[in-house]
Amino acid sequence: MTENPTAPRKNSGFFPVVPAGGVGSRLWPLSRPDRPKFLIDLLGSGATLIQDTVARLAPLGDEVMIVTGERHADAVAAQLPDVPAANIVTEPSPRDSMAAIALAAALIEHRHGEQIMGSFAADHVIPDAAAFRDTVRTAIAAAATGKVVTIGIEPTEPSSAFGYIESGAELTHAPGAFEVEAFTEKPDPETAAQMLADGGYSWNAGMFVVSTSVLLAHLARLHPTLESGVREIAAAWDGPGRADALARVWPTLTKIAIDHAIAEPVAAEGGVAMVPGSFVWDDVGDFDSLAALLAPGADGAIRIGRDAPASLVDAPGTVLVGGTKPVAVVGIADAVVVDTDEALLVLSRHAAQRVKDVDL
């Protein structure tokens, strides 16, 4: 699927937003609080995950807004020199996804009036950018009907690592979009397998497309202090009162994810739609999923940021990340060895999700 890069942008009035937070705890020690995964070139492509994300979104809107923590703002600005400084919005402290997305919505509306916005995480891998954009355009059309729209990913396995979206009938006035019956938190493997057998379920990738006024109106009903708080901050953002407003208001905002604050309760009211995305998607949640995106070398090892010698003896499926010293892996299948200046991690790919439990 190809696009003409010189063609006029079809969605004037669409404003992509990229929340860039989190530390990628299951990719420790490669990803750390001062070096989160969205700032790393994990795939060896020459671009970091946030650079890939912004490039993928650029043809959809005239501007993009990044919401990130204060400690990462300089690195984000350095990696994204084409994003205006005014569109790199910094949070003084993490308040979960709802506060970040709501502040972006309030800022966009304060500066530009009502817009359809889309929220897309900074650290997802989507190789087919054109197919992704086609899906987003369908979501934009559905959002124009007043729905909160999410993009569902076609499951490839009964994974318990993701939440699920149950879809219903197709929207009459938005072809390609479907009513959302319910959201389900990460299920156990048996429940996930039953969902796939039943059909009508998609993975919840945390992508939302919605009018700023619709989002803020739902927030005003469901979490009024959060809505009034972000509007107060947005009104002061471009003037001398920003620091004071942030200091007074930001710590009082409810710490809640957009799924719990908006998506789940509004879906119960019939106000959420889903557009299925058939493109390949990965949230690169751990070393096993990262390795699955890369091709092994001649010796069968998958290397990430590593050129130093390695010897594998009866060690299929080995993943080697970083490091400058020679490494030998003997008699261990699916081993992962991660070597950074700060720490050394050795684990099995089958235990990749448990890295978040490391206490160091």
**Average pLDDT rounded to a whole number, residues 267-279:** 94
Q: Is the peptide bond before 251 cis (omega within 30 degrees of 0)?
A: no
Half-sphere CA count of 108, side-chain side, radius 13 A: 30
Cα–Cα distance list, 311 to 300, 330, 331 (Å): 11, 8, 11
Closest to 126 in 3D by CA, of 72, 49, 196, 58: 49
Residue type, 322: G
Q: What is the mean pLDDT of residues 154-174?
A: 91
Token couple for 337: 């060895």
Residue 331: DSSP 8-state: S
Question: Among 160-164, 206-210, 253-257, which stretch is predicted with the lowest mean pLDDT?
Answer: 160-164
Secondary structure class of 304 (helix, strand, coil): strand
Provide, for the chain, the percentages of residues in helix, strand and coil under a 3-state DSSP scheme, each rounded to the nearest 5: 35, 25, 40
| β-bridge partners, 211 | 116
Can you give the pLDDT at residue 47?
Answer: 94
Residue 10's pLDDT band, with cuts at 50, 70 and 90, is very low
Q: What's the confidence (pLDDT) of residue 353?
A: 85
- Tell me the pLDDT band of 285, cut-offs 50, 70 and 90: confident
Residue matched to tokens 């043809």: 59
pLDDT at 72: 94
User: Is residue 6 scored above 50 in pLDDT?
Assistant: no
- pLDDT at 44 > cutoff 90: no
343's tokens:
């720490």
Res. 295: pLDDT tops 80: yes
Q: Could you read off the pLDDT of 142-158 as tens digits, one per residue?
A: 999 999 999 999 998 88
Residue 148, Cα to own-chain centre: how many angstroms?
17
Mean pLDDT, the chain, integer: 92
Q: What is the mean pLDDT of residues 51-56?
A: 97
- Check residue 316 and give its pLDDT: 93
Secondary structure class of 2 (helix, strand, coil) = coil
Looking at 50-154, which runs of residues are DSSP E strands? 65-69, 88-91, 116-119, 148-153
| pLDDT for the residue 144 | 96
Read off the pTM. Answer: 0.89
Cβ contact 58:64 at 8 Å:
yes
- Per-residue pLDDT of 104-152, as tens digits, reads 999 999 999 999 999 999 999 999 999 999 999 999 999 999 999 999 9
pLDDT digits (tens, 9 = 90+) for 224-241: 999 999 999 999 999 999
The yes-or-no verdict on residue 12 having pLDDT over 60 is no
Q: Indicate whether 4 pLDDT > 60.
A: no
> What mean pLDDT is predicted for residues 332-355?
93
Q: Is residue 291 within 8 Å of residue 319, measured between CB atoms?
A: yes
Per-residue pLDDT, averaged over 241-250, amounts to: 97
Amino acid found at 5: P
